């Protein structure tokens, strides 16, 4: 976990792609802060299979585009999913442009520093394609299963098998 007076700025799991890059090269101090107790409580509730029901203050660190994407991720309800394309359409509408690339959205989703709480695991590809999760596709499947958000139509493209 990483955070400051503004809120949580990082939550990573072992082996996560891009883990800890917020701290890379930045002076930091390791200490417990009240925010971390709240994050731990939130995670305990979440991993018991329930929606935590309270928000964690966040300090989103990234480009304006990344922050726009992450703000949309925060609107995806527990137990629901949204496609990269849906997010791209929402960003295009917000910016008043005709189109936005789903691949660009995928890049921003993939650089989310606050795993699980900013629910990037709830983003799927078109047609139920389960791609892109910094913590590994198996963990994405586990998190979606925990939220009862898995569908028989979801699949992992590399393996080419239905889940």
| Pairwise CA distance, residues 6 & 9, whole Å | 9
Q: Name the burial class of residue 16, with classes exposed (0-12), middle (13-18) and buried (19+) by CB atoms within 10 angstroms of its CB.
A: middle
Q: Dump the DSSP string for 107-137.
A: HHHHT-SBTTTS-GGGEE-GGGB----TT-H
Name the residue among 39, 37, 29 with its Cα closest to residue 8. Answer: 39
Is 120 assigned a catalytic role?
Answer: yes
Cβ atoms 141, 130 nearer than 8 A: yes
Q: Name the burial class of residue 116, with classes exposed (0-12), middle (13-18) and buried (19+) by CB atoms within 10 angstroms of its CB.
A: buried
Cβ neighbours, 10 Å, residue 64:
8
Query: Per the residue annotation, which of 60, 100, 120, 143 is the catalytic one?
Result: 120
Residues catalogued as catalytic: 120
């Amino acid at each position: 976990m990483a955070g400051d007076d503004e809120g949580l700025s990082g939550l990573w799991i072992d082996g996560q792609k891009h883990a800890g890059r917020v701290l890379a090269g930045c002076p930091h101090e390791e200490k417990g802060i009240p925010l971390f107790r709240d994050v731990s409580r939130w995670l305990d509730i979440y991993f018991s299979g329930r929606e935590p029901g309270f928000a964690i203050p966040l300090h989103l660190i990234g480009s304006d585009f990344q922050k726009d994407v992450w703000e949309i991720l925060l609107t995806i309800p527990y137990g629901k999913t949204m496609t990269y394309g849906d997010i791209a359409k929402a960003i295009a509408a917000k910016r008043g442009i005709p189109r936005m690339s789903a691949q660009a959205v995928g890049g921003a989703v993939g650089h989310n520093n606050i795993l699980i709480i900013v629910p990037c695991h709830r983003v799927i590809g078109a047609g139920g394609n389960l791609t892109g999760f910094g913590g590994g596709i198996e963990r994405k499947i586990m998190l979606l299963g925990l939220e009862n958000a898995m569908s028989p139509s979801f699949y992992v493209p590399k393996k080419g098998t239905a889940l």
